[in-house]
Amino acid sequence: MSNDSSPVDLQGTLIRFWGVRGSIPTPGPSTVRYGGNTTCVEFRTGGEIIVIDAGSGIRSLGGALLKESAGNPIALTLLNTHTHWDHIQGFPFFAPAFIKGNRIRVIGRKLQPDGLKSVFEKQMDGTRCFPVPFAVLGAGVDFQQVDDESGYHFQIGPVKVEACPTNHPGGCLAYAFETDHGRVVFLSDHETGGADEARILQFIKGARLLIADAQYDALEITSRRGWGHGSVDEVVDLAIRGGVGELYLFHHDPTHDDERIDSMLVQAREIAASLGSPLVIHGASEGGEIRL
Ligand SMILES: [Zn+2]
Ligand SMILES: [Zn+2]
């Protein structure tokens, strides 16, 4: 598929944000800069197409992939962090899944007792939740579950991937990728300050890039403990302790407009500066690209 005219450099590492919002899509003029679609991040490295989560942002990604493939078969891996709505709700609108010849490998947490596939099937039950049943999808969709027994290490083509349970109701997985350009960690959804923080700290250690749930500010989290999301000040502290190079604030709260996220970003940078840290901090925004 790679050729000189391809818009995607398959030799390098490319990360594209298609959805950066948490909980529920938030379209409208007040969220136009950071974007209103829920979680979906495209990750290209080692010649692989990896998609992290199928929030509503995956619909636009589907269109872009069809355009890029120009009728050729598409093979990709969908890494699912967990099955809360904002991480799967876009899948029924992911056009490549409807096309015969395409291959989608879904990898996610082992779910008891019915398995990961059953959640995707129930979301597309053909009646109560969605009019088109999962069974009519034309693409080959395979499911692979990750748990303690199967080990949290696996490969996607040549790309080494490591998973780590996060502190989130019902469970969730963070993913780390070893690229030629350093370790890249995706840590959403995760409530900072939990008992398992030592494991998470080890997981993000030395990452070149950390994309992390920073849904709340220091005040908001006090009334939302147990909801499974991070606060900006604690995420910054975690990233600094982990020796992270760059941090992207992610999983923006649906009640936060662009100005509010701007001010949280300023606050995050002030915290890092006050600690004398060289940590570089960005706010993840829909349409944003990172090339390593
Ligand atoms: Zn979420
Ligand atoms: Zn969640």
**Any idea of the CA torsion for 60, 61, 64, 66, to the nearest 10 degrees?**
-110
CA 165 / ligand 1 centre spacing (Å): 14
CA 124 / ligand 2 centre spacing (Å): 19
CA 22 / ligand 2 centre spacing (Å): 8
Residue 175 has pLDDT above 50, yes or no: yes
CA 22 / ligand 1 centre spacing (Å): 5
In the three-class reduction of DSSP (H, G, I as helix; E, B as strand; rest coil), residue 154 is classed as strand
Least Cα distance to 88 among 153, 141, 140 occurs for 141
pLDDT tens-digit profile of 250-283?
Answer: 999 999 999 999 999 999 999 999 999 999 999 9
What is the predicted pLDDT for the residue at 8?
A: 52
CA 213 / ligand 1 centre spacing (Å): 9
Please give the average per-residue pLDDT across 51-57, as a whole number: 98
What is the predicted pLDDT for the residue at 5?
A: 36
What is the predicted pLDDT for the residue at 195?
A: 80
CA 100 / ligand 1 centre spacing (Å): 30
CA 101 / ligand 1 centre spacing (Å): 31
CA 85 / ligand 1 centre spacing (Å): 8
Strands 182-187 and 209-213: parallel
Residue 7 has pLDDT above 70, yes or no: no
**% of the chain with per-residue pLDDT over 70:** 96
| CA pseudo-torsion sign 124, 89, 187, 168 | negative
CA 70 / ligand 1 centre spacing (Å): 32
Six-digit token string for 111: 């779910």
Residue 3 has pLDDT above 50, yes or no: no
CA 3 / ligand 2 centre spacing (Å): 38
What is the predicted pLDDT for the residue at 11?
A: 66
pLDDT tens-digit profile of 200-259?
Answer: 999 999 999 999 999 999 999 999 999 999 999 999 999 999 999 999 999 999 999 999
What is the predicted pLDDT for the residue at 269?
A: 98
CA 102 / ligand 1 centre spacing (Å): 27
Q: Identify the bridge partners of residue 144 per DSSP, sorted by sequence position.
A: 107
Q: What is the mean pLDDT of the chain?
A: 94
What is the predicted pLDDT for the residue at 12?
A: 84
CA 12 / ligand 2 centre spacing (Å): 30
CA 60 / ligand 1 centre spacing (Å): 19
The CA distances from residue 262 to 1, 168, 216, 239, 282, in Å, are 39, 26, 13, 19, 10
List the Cα angle 242/235/146 in 5-degree steps.
75
What is the predicted pLDDT for the residue at 150?
A: 77
Please give the average per-residue pLDDT across 78-84, as a whole number: 98
What is the predicted pLDDT for the residue at 6?
A: 41
pLDDT tens-digit profile of 89-126?
Answer: 999 999 999 999 999 999 999 998 999 999 999 999 99
The burial of 261, by beta-carbon neighbours within 10 Å (0-12 exposed, 13-18 middle, 19 or more buried), is given as buried
Chain length of the chain? 292
CA 71 / ligand 1 centre spacing (Å): 33
CB atoms within 5 A of ion ligand 1 belong to 22, 86, 189
Q: Which residue has the tokens 């890092």?
A: 272
Helices (DSSP H) in 102-156: which residue ranges?
116-123
Residue 180 has pLDDT above 90, yes or no: no
What is the predicted pLDDT for the residue at 193?
A: 85
pLDDT tens-digit profile of 19-28?
Answer: 999 999 999 9
CA 146 / ligand 2 centre spacing (Å): 17
Is residue 47 left, alpha or beta, with left meaning phi > 0 and alpha meaning psi from -120 to 50? left
CA 80 / ligand 2 centre spacing (Å): 11
- The pLDDT-based confidence of 151 (bands split at 50, 70, 90) is confident
- The pLDDT-based confidence of 149 (bands split at 50, 70, 90) is confident
- Is the pTM higher than 0.85? The answer reads yes
CA 84 / ligand 1 centre spacing (Å): 6
Q: Could you tell me what percentage of the chain is helix, strand and coil, using 3-state DSSP and rounding each to the nearest 5?
A: 25, 30, 45
In angstroms, rounded to a whole number, what is the distance separating the alpha carbons of residues 231 and 251? Answer: 11
